[in-house]
Structure 1
Amino acid sequence: MMKSKIMAFRIKPVLLVLCVIASLAPSFAQKPTPHTSFKPGGEWLDTDGKHIDCHGGNIIYVDSLKTYYWYGEHRGQPRGASCYSSKDLYNWKNEGVVLDKGEIEIFERPKVVYDAAKQQYVMWFHYDGNRYTVAELGVATSDKPTGPFVVQHHERPNGHESRDIGMYLEPDTKKAYIGYAADHTNRTIRMVELSDDYLSTTTNDVDIEAHCEGPGILKKNGTYYLLTSGCSGWTPNPATYYTAKNILGPYTKQGNPFVGDAGNNSFNSQPCYIFKIPGYKDAYLYMGDRWNGGGRPDSQYVFLPITITEDGKMELHWYKEWDLSMFTPVKK
């Protein structure tokens, strides 16, 4: 009996040391190796080593903070809009859920624009209910890029159903436009101009007459390029782009811009936004989601450079890995 008590006494200090080491283990965990490039469709971890959960959104650059902010659907808990910040577009810090969807049944495709006059950030998003029958645009605002965003109102723009949305900000006039999949399960794309404070839609609202969704918009040499996906739910499909001399159209169908797309499915992705990267000449970033059959927290991203050729054609080529050195810096 005495022997067993002595052995027990000797073992307890060892267990105590092991417990202390275990409790300190997280503090010794190494940060993930910083990213120096884009790897489309691959594992993309934030600065904490966790999968980036930020889908169907957009990126803005806040010059006063010298920081990029990436907004998107947070598919984990709580559901809503997430925000990540970066200094280089490769490495992203999780800023948390900046809008908790609360009682909103379906919250999708948030797009953020900054109103310099009111010094506030305005988020537009697809607001919907069960079976996508509500089909509205929602609006939320925040005084900071990292939120929290507060929902202001939601409605059908000029009475039209609205689901997938894209956004374009005219750099010279600061006019903002939303392209939205509209009417009868996305029968067409409409383009609507926003008010000067970005808080409401105007009656400047036109039918592009294209049966598609997932719109992304860019402008080069006076021509607007509207990139869209087909309507096949969570399943990827071949993309189509349209061109126009006025953002409100009329638009001309041009074809599929994805070159060498063996699967004929936009490199297994769906467009959500086109970001013009500041500091570079004609640096257009395709932001695509790889949904893998459904919107899950671990869905991947396909970020690729967009080329507008000398004869005005849009092209996207696949790169297993690439970086911003592909673009030409603008001389200061």
Structure 2
Amino acid sequence: MAIVTRKIHYASLLCFLLAVIVQTEAQSKLNIPNTSFSPGAIWPDNNGLHINAHGGGIWYQNGIYYWFGEHKIEGKKGNSAQVGVHCYSSKDLYNWADEGVVLKVSDDPKSDITKGSIIERPKVVYNKETKKYVMWFHLELKGKGYAAALAGVAVSDKITGPYQYLKSLRANAGKMPFYPHGTPETEKVNCADTFNKANKFFYRDFAGGQMVRDMTIFMDDNGKAYHVFSSEENYTLQIAELDAGYTGYTGKFARVYIGHQTEAPALFKRNGIYYMIGSGCTGWAPNEARWFTAASIWGPWTFHGNPCKGPDAQLTFNGQSTFVLPVEGKKDAFIFMADKWEPQNAIDGRYLWLPILFKDDDIQINWLDKWNLQIFDQ
């Protein structure tokens, strides 16, 4: 009798396990939507594939968020572009639909964006006057490492592309920086100061244009757009005003945090104050984040230290800043977007999205294993 009972028990257990497996597979096929963020986890799109939009930025329009980022391929080391720039769309920020590759690398070996070039940190803005979507990205020429230090520009009539490559350039050739009121003399370009590496590289590149590496695009309330990028061999950040069409520069620019090697800039604005989050320069390895504020986009900018709190805060939770996203319809709701780079297999790079919390005008970014947008309602 005991043997019969045991067999019935095992049979019941087997049926239960099979039912669980079937239910799990059914849920997977039904593509049950996400209702929260899980920083550092695999983030499937509507096709069940990990979102492929690294070093990205987001543009919001007509109730839809569009996420643009670097497309990576399986098993590829480093950061060379084999495909181009990928786009995804979402109405709720949790669930993303694949919109495809919107800027493709070129098959022409003479093209600046030929397959094997480096295309990093793409950002898209919309120009109301020209009715064009304008994409900026950091561009390095194939086989030249990071020596070219160019900005790439592409345009499209539709937000989901295709984007047509327009040109590459360095920044503000033959132009001197703008100095806001209160700029210390120590932060101004001094051609006699040959010991200051930032000044040395600024003058080296003066005639041909300033270097462009890690970058973002910031759109201000008045419709003016700014290109923010690491320059002068990464020893300085530069903030450069874009022209009316957003495809070039006006010649007005400022230098920020001179001599301290900052990259991965991400800007946002709250209560009339400009905020910027960035990182140090340690290659692919994570380091401590840093944040700044200013009353004007031109500065002077004030350094405030590390905004991150919690485990691995000194390593920005093993990630690096790429963008700060304002959440539409919610007051003081900003998401810190960071990438956890995987240089040995770049496609496995994970996304670290975390809420930015405010205490008066100070910010703090805490690690959370899981969270949703209701945190901004508290």
Counterpart position of 2:248: 200
Tell me if structure 1 keeps the 8 A contact 2:325–2:337: yes
Q: Does 1:57 align with 2:56?
A: yes
Which of the numbers 128, 132, 155 marks the counterpart of 1:141? 155
TM-score (norm 1): 0.86
**Is it true that 1:229 corresponds to 2:241 in the alignment?**
no
1:176 aligned partner: 225
Contact 1:31–1:48 (CA<8 Å) still a contact in 2?
Answer: no
- 1:74 matched to 2:71? The reply is yes
Q: What is the deviation of 1:119?
A: 1.7
Q: Which moved more, 1:41-50 or 1:100-109?
A: 100-109
- Spell out the pairing of 1:121-136 with structure 2 (5 A cutoff): 121-129=133-141, 130-136=144-150
1:21-60 equivalence runs, <5 A: 30-60=29-59
Report how many residues are paired: 299
- Measured in 1, the distance between the counterparts of 2:86 and 2:211 equals 25
Task: Give the letter for the 2:242 counterpart.
Answer: L
CA contact (8 A) 2:149 2:212 kept: yes
CA contact (8 A) 1:31 1:49 kept: no
Identity of aligned residues (%): 41
Compare 82-91 and 215-224 and name the one that shifted more.
Answer: 215-224
Q: Distance in 1 between matches of 2:313 and 2:304?
A: 20
Instruction: Describe how 1:1-332 pairs up with structure 2 within 5 A.
Output: 30-63=29-62, 66-76=63-73, 78-102=82-106, 103=111, 104=113, 105-129=117-141, 130-158=144-172, 159-171=209-221, 173-184=222-233, 186-208=234-256, 209=258, 210-262=260-312, 264-293=314-343, 296-310=346-360, 312-328=361-377
Shift of 1:29: 7.8
CA–CA separation in structure 2 for the residues paired with 1:302 and 1:234: 16
How far off its partner does 1:263 sit?
Answer: 5.4
Please say if residues 79 and 100 of structure 1, whose CA atoms lie closer than 8 Å, have aligned partners that are also in contact. yes
Query: Are the equivalent residues in 2 in contact too, given 1:73–1:109 (CA < 8 A)?
Result: yes
**SS class of match (1:148):** coil
Q: Is the 8 A contact 1:44 1:51 kept in 2?
A: yes
Amino acid at match of 2:118: I
Any idea what SS the aligned residue of 1:126 has?
strand
Q: Which amino acid aligns with 2:235?
A: R
Letter in 2 for 1:230: G
Match in the other structure for 2:9: none
Distance 2:242 2:344 in 1: 31
Q: Distance in 1 between matches of 2:352 and 2:28?
A: 29
Tell me the distance in 2 between the aligned counterparts of 1:221 and 1:294.
42
28-37 or 71-80, which deviates more: 28-37
Whose strand proportion is higher, 1 or 2?
1
* Residue type of the alignment partner of 1:192: A
SS at match of 2:337: strand
Q: How much does 1:76 deviate?
A: 2.3
Closer, same or farther: CA 295–272 of 1 in aligned 2, 3 Å: farther
Q: 1:221 to 1:295 in 2, by over 3 A?
A: farther
Q: What is the SS of the residue equivalent to 2:92?
A: coil
In the alignment, the residues of structure 1 paired with residue 211 and residue 315 of structure 2 have an alpha-carbon distance, to the nearest angstrom, of 26
| Contact 1:38 1:323 survives alignment (8 Å) | yes
Would you say the 8 A contact 1:235–1:292 is kept in 2?
no
Q: Counterpart of 1:6?
A: none
Secondary structure of residue in 2 paired with 1:99: strand
Look up the SS of the partner of 1:325 in the other structure.
helix
Are the aligned partners of 2:312 and 2:318 in contact in 1 as well (CA < 8 Å)? no
The structural deviation recorded for 1:293 is: 4.0
C-alpha separation in 2, matches of 1:295 and 1:140: 27
- Following TM superposition, by how much is the alpha carbon of 1:33 offset from its aligned partner in structure 2, in angstroms? 2.3
Structure 1 residues 74 and 32, CA gap change in structure 2 (3 angstroms): same
Aligned-pair Cα RMSD in Å:
2.0
Q: Distance in 2 between matches of 1:107 and 1:285?
A: 24
1:240–1:253 contact (8 Å) kept in structure 2: yes
Which AA in structure 2 matches 1:198? Y
SS in 1 for 2:276: strand
Is contact 1:142-1:148 (8 Å) kept?
Answer: yes
Partners of 2:101 and 2:357 in 1: CA distance: 33
Q: Mind listing any 5+ residue stretches in structure 2 that lack a counterpart?
A: 1-26, 75-81, 173-208
Structure 1 residue 294 displacement after superposition: 5.1
Q: Deviations over 1:175-226 (max 9, x none)?
A: 1111100022x11111111112211122111110242100001112222111
